[in-house]
Amino acid sequence: MGCGLARSMSSQRKSKRRLSDAVSINPGLFLSKKKGKLPSQYREIKKLGAGAFAEVKLCKYLPTNKERAVKTIHKSGLHKQQIDPDFMLKEISVLTSLDHPNILKCYEIFEDSWRFYVSMEYCEGGELFEKIISMKRFNEQQASKIMHQILSAVCYCHEKNVIHRDLKPENILLDDKNGELTIKVADFGSSCFLDPTKNLNGCFGSAYYVAPEVLQGEYNEKCDIWSCGVIMFILLTGKPPYQGSDPKLILHMVKTCPIQITPDKLPGVSPEALNLLTKMLEINPKLRISAKDAVNHTWISNHKTIIPNSDLTITLQSLEIFNGTAKLKDAVHIFIATQIISHEEIKFFREAFQVIDKNSDGKISKDELLDMYKENMDEIKAQEIVEKIMKEVDINLSGEIDYSEFLSACMNYSKYLSKENLEAAFRIFDLDQSGGITADEIRNVLGQRTEQSDDVWKEILTDADENGDGIIDMKEFIGLMTKNM
């Protein structure tokens, strides 16, 4: 963010700093929760899969003309731990807290008397293992790249006290059909928040991947690390650590037979990989490696893929010239960044995000950003730029740059603020589809989990309500978003 930024910022933006302090944009703010069946904006294309109590269909979401995967969940098949006291999916509160490049994004959840309908990001590459089976060659570097992404997502979840509880290959999806092996962790239907002072109970997961302590009745977030270890074992050997097809027998072996991880049992696997496997598949969860330590293990760091410096320079320049806007504009920018921009451009920015995020915790810290800028300029200039970037890009004031904030900052707004895209964003805020946005609707979208005074929401509305009628119509909304472009 160059020196000219401060001079170019309008006095109006400066006057909005109090609003920025008062209102925090939640990364999952656009996860709508509505009563009723899937609306007419979704047009079914084909069925992707089905189970005993759920099915997944590929649909076209007409407002943005993008494909989405819609999962229908029958309420009769849900475990009591998957429902909160208000009889809503616990998955909702989990998903609204997550914002990571390797976690499947959820857009909307609807419900009727018998079912939940969950609208999600569509990963056209399908399940990870199906792709690997079709590949002619697969090596440790590729396995490490996959595990780096999985562990980064798990590390991010654990820092937010979220436990997945059902990590398995079927829930690891490929972003697209090319050979780059970019993955998304999916299906948080069995996930939950962990109280650090208590252990969990209840058996979730699949036989091959469930941790021994889960079968004993009390466990914590380390159960996810065991599941990751089993996935890594299969990636390196092509077979699960416990052989057989009888789930009862598999579970018995999980409880009674520690996995043997030695060079003679896993020929051809590098010592570094064996070391990480040993730490992840440690029987005692207290001694088992954490996600944070696992994602920074030498086997992972030695195989990290770095994109060319020239590409990263473009990203750093985008961050430097990013100009913060009023709060409502920030929210719309995040909506466009996460739901409308092209798959290829998201892929480019995702790779840049992961390079800057050196400790792979799913967030960019001030120090990580400073290290990148110091490679191209002196430290004093770098510190000046990073201070301004953090002030403008860290919209939710967390002290770090979240993934959606990063995407929003790097976007070319003149390219994406088309009438069609702005109309799609308008409809997100216009909850009752009346053709106007009220202060209550702004509060419902921006502040689902905050308690702010009515004056804050009214002030946000006043920022765009040119005719003073207490409602933002489509014309005023587009005028706000394109002002000073």
Check if 455 is active-site. Answer: no
- The end-to-end CA distance of the chain, in Å, is 17
**SS3 of 46, please?**
strand
**Token reading at 178:** 């090319």
Instruction: Give the full edge-to-edge strand order of the sheet including 32-35.
Output: 32-35, 106-111, 115-121, 66-74, 54-61, 42-50
**Token reading at 287:** 């001694």
HEC string for 156-197 = HHHHCCEECCCCCHHHEEECCCCCCCCEEECCCCCCEECCCC
The alpha carbon of residue 440 and the mean position of all alpha carbons in its chain are separated, in whole angstroms, by: 27
**SS3 of 285, please?**
coil
Q: Please name which of 123, 89, 70, 105 lies closest in space to residue 335, comparing C-alpha atoms.
A: 105
DSSP letter string, 349-373: HHHHHHHH-TT-SSSB-HHHHHHHH
Tell me which of 21, 84, 86, 166 is the catalytic residue.
166
| Unique residue bearing structure tokens 């009438």 | 419
Residues 6+ apart with CB under 8 A from 47: 55, 56, 57, 58
**Token reading at 106:** 């959820």
* Cα distance between residue 214 and residue 225, in whole Å: 12
* Cα distance between residue 242 and residue 301, in whole Å: 28
DSSP letter string, 83-123: B-TTSSBHHHHHHTT---TTB--EEEEEE-SSEEEEEEE--
* Cα distance between residue 105 and residue 28, in whole Å: 9
Q: Is 286 annotated as a binding residue?
A: no
Helix 439-446 / helix 327-339 crossing angle, nearest 10 deg: 50
Residues marked as catalytic: 166
Name the binding residues: 71
* Residues annotated in a binding site for ATP: 71
